[in-house]
């Protein structure tokens, strides 16, 4: 891109996942629609920030009004797969299964929103088959790689995610042979920002001071390299937590203790209005750097053609 304009992309993953229950839940989907989304949309309106909202097919199917609500506020609609459950993660599905899930989700979402072109994999889990499946179903961008984020050893799919440490930091066209390398596909990967920690609502809620330092570093990098900042958030973070903490029991007690009990308690930190307050502060701080707030679709347009940006 010719001029040095810093870009900030606010991205939102919309699914019916309950943080306290640690699973997808219809009632949570309803709460996201009725409470989480309106709270978040109100904050985005106040800051005049456009965002890309990635909906799961299941969420759009169960609550089509949630997609319409986001559209009414002028935001981009993207796809977050069909099902957010661990057994339907894209990195465990075959090419044909991924293609089927993408078609199903896209049909549901386009039936409400019209044409869509932006994708993010559920739980940020994808593989080389995803690249061809995305091309086949007409997507143009993906934002599932989290370059240089270290995802602790006890998280779901974490062994494969160690490759994030090697992935390019700036947007790149995905390779058919490795999603962590530049290649010749038509899918522009726009990585979620990270420097060991991800630039996300989850880290913001757990460690607000780390996020402040992270944001400062990312803006310095953006000023020097043109790399966009991509922040990842979920409207279920805007919901107030109940009293229950449910952890998935695993075979290993150490895994159970670290990945489920401790991690789950951390996940419940600063939910609801506290999350919105922290996000409000993050936006105010980001505006001090005077970035252009932009959607995935518009960033892809400004990025230009395939051949122009080959390295």
What structural domains and CATH numbers belong to the chain?
Answer: 7-309 (3.20.20.370)
The pLDDT of residue 209: 95
* β-pair partners for 230: 9
Helix (H) or strand (E) holding 78: strand 76-79
The mean pLDDT of the chain is: 86
Residue-wise pLDDT for 85-130, tens only, equals: 777 889 999 999 999 999 999 999 999 999 999 999 999 999 999 9
The pLDDT of residue 181: 92
Q: Is the pLDDT reported for residue 187 higher than 60?
A: yes
Which ranges of the chain does DSSP label H, i.e. alpha helix?
A: 26-31, 37-47, 57-62, 64-72, 95-113, 128-136, 158-161, 201-206, 208-225, 253-255, 263-267, 273-287, 296-303
Average pLDDT score over residue span 60-83: 97
Residue 310's SS3 state is: coil
Average pLDDT score over residue span 11-17: 94
How many residues can be counted in the chain? 311
pTM: 0.88
Residue-wise pLDDT for 134-182, tens only, equals: 999 999 999 999 876 655 444 444 455 566 567 889 999 999 999 999 9
Average pLDDT score over residue span 219-235: 95
As a whole number of angstroms, the distance between CA 80 and CA 142 comes to 10
Instruction: Please name the residues in contact with 262: beta carbons below 8 A apart, sequence gap of 6 or more.
Output: none
Phi, psi angles (nearest 5°) of residue 108: -65, -50
């Amino acid at each position: 891109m010719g001029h040095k304009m810093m870009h900030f992309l606010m991205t939102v993953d919309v699914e019916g996942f309950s943080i306290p229950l640690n699973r997808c839940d219809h009632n949570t989907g309803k709460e996201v629609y009725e409470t989480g989304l309106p709270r978040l949309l109100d904050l985005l309106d106040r800051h005049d920030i456009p965002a890309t909202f990635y909906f799961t097919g299941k969420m759009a199917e169960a609550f089509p009004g949630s997609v319409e609500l986001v559209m009414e506020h002028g935001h981009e609609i993207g796809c977050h797969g069909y099902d957010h459950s661990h057994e339907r993660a894209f990195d465990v599905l075959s090419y044909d299964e991924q293609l089927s899930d993408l078609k199903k989700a896209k049909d549901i979402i386009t039936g409400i929103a019209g044409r869509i072109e932006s994708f993010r994999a559920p739980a940020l889990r994808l593989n080389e088959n995803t690249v061809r499946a995305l091309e086949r179903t007409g997507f143009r961008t993906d934002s599932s790689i989290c370059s240089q984020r270290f995802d602790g050893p006890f998280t779901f799919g974490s062994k494969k995610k160690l490759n994030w440490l090697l992935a390019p930091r700036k947007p790149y066209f995905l390779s058919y042979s490795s999603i962590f390398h530049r290649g010749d596909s038509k899918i522009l990967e726009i990585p979620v920002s990270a420097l060991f920690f991800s630039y996300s609502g989850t880290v913001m809620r757990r460690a607000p001071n780390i996020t402040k330092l992270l944001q400062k570093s990312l803006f310095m990098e953006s000023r020097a390299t043109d790399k966009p900042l991509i922040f990842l958030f979920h409207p279920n973070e805007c919901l107030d937590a109940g009293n229950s903490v449910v952890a998935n029991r695993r075979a290993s007690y150490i895994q159970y203790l670290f990945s489920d009990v401790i991690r789950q308690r951390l996940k419940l930190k600063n939910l609801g209005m506290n999350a919105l307050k922290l996000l409000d502060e993050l936006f105010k701080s980001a505006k001090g750097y005077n970035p252009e707030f932009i959607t995935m679709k518009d960033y892809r347009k400004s990025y230009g053609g395939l051949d122009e940006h080959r390295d």
